[in-house]
């Protein structure tokens, strides 16, 4: 059985916090016996993730045990680590691959913790080495069971059936919060498409515009899904933080999502509360139009 997660990472480096839970990976009997061996009263023990995991609340500890079922990615990971002589904790490359495989996990309460751990592992020299490449691809495909919006469609199709009641036109909100002469996304959007953006054009523009593209997308998402319908109950900053997390995980995909995730701190450094005031000014001036 392997101890994984933050407790394993703390073996290799100072993580700057005390791990609040214990993550393990092993055969079913190993995991159950481990839970039984821990001090304190067992308050609750429940299956999770379709039977892939067991979560136990014992004493003051939360134990998340991933079961290494036959032919599972967990069993394969344990075998890879055993072949490297690691039976109690993964090596740093193994920990890095585990963390990287769920860095885009939708609505994860551990989003920032995972990001900080990944960057710490990189400082330690961790990488997804050749022996973990195939396993990593398999693990990612298991982790992200939800789809992402396709940009290769018309604007009408892109926004339909997303469950959001739009009060204002999306493009005109972008006009209100833009940082350049045009909204940042317009600098890498081919003229032939309404929503599709070009990767090649994206890497040809300045880094400042690329960062503003993530910032503006987060502003618009925060406005549409939070501030406009619920602004009296949530702060502009919190709306933005949630929106940026979604841009870095589930609202976008591919190269744009990766860029947003990798540059999260740089985008946060550009944040300003005035994005709400800019929307209101745009509404007042007529720049921001009602949704049709």
Q: What is the pLDDT of residues 111-142, one digit of tens each?
A: 999 999 999 999 999 999 999 999 999 999 99
Residues 6 or more apart in contact with residue 127 via CB below 8 angstroms: 93, 96
Burial class (CB in 10 A: 0-12, 13-18, 19+), 25: buried
Q: What is the pLDDT of residues 183-205, one digit of tens each?
A: 999 999 887 556 578 899 999 99
Q: What is the pLDDT of residues 134-169, one digit of tens each?
A: 999 999 999 987 665 554 444 444 444 455 678 999
Residue carrying structure tokens 């109690």 = 88
Burial class (CB in 10 A: 0-12, 13-18, 19+), 44: exposed
8 A C-beta contact, residue 156 and residue 162: no
Band (292; pLDDT cuts 50, 70, 90): confident
Q: What is the pLDDT of residues 45-55, one digit of tens each?
A: 999 988 999 99
Q: What is the pLDDT of residues 25-35, one digit of tens each?
A: 999 999 999 99
- Number of residues that this document lists for the chain: 292
d(CA 168, CA 14): 47
d(CA 171, CA 101): 33
Return phi, psi of residue 4, to 5°. Answer: -120, -165
Q: Which residues of 173-207 are buried (b: 16+ CB within 10 A; e: fewer)?
A: bbbbbbbeeebbbbbbbeeeeebebeeeebeeeee
């Amino acid at each position: 059985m392997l101890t994984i997660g933050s407790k394993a990472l703390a073996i290799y480096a100072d993580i700057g916090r005390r791990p609040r839970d214990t993550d393990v990976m092993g055969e079913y009997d190993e995991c159950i016996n481990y839970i039984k061996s821990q001090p304190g009263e067992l308050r609750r023990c429940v299956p999770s993730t379709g039977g892939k995991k067991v979560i136990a609340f014992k004493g003051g500890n939360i134990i998340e045990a991933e079961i290494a079922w036959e032919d599972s990615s967990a069993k394969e990971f344990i075998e890879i680590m055993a072949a490297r002589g690691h039976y109690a904790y993964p090596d740093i490359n193994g920990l890095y691959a585990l963390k990287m495989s769920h860095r885009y996990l939708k609505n994860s309460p551990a989003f920032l913790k995972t990001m900080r751990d990944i960057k710490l592992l990189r400082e330690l020299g961790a990488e997804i080495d050749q022996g973990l490449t195939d396993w990593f691809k398999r693990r990612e495909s298991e982790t992200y069971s939800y789809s992402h919006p396709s940009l290769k469609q018309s604007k009408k199709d892109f926004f339909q059936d997303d469950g959001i009641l739009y009060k204002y036109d999306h493009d005109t909100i972008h006009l209100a919060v833009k940082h350049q002469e045009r909204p940042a996304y317009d600098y890498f959007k081919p003229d032939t498409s309404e929503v599709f953006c070009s990767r090649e054009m994206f890497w040809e523009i300045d880094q400042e515009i690329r960062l503003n593209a993530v910032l503006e997308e987060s502003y618009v998402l925060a406005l549409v899904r939070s501030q406009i319908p619920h602004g009296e109950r949530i702060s502009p900053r919190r709306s933005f933080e949630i929106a940026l997390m979604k841009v870095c995980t589930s609202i976008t995909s591919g190269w744009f999502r990766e860029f947003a995730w990798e540059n999260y701190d740089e985008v946060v450094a550009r944040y300003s509360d005035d994005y709400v005031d800019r929307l209101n000014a745009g509404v007042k001036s007529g720049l921001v139009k009602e949704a049709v």
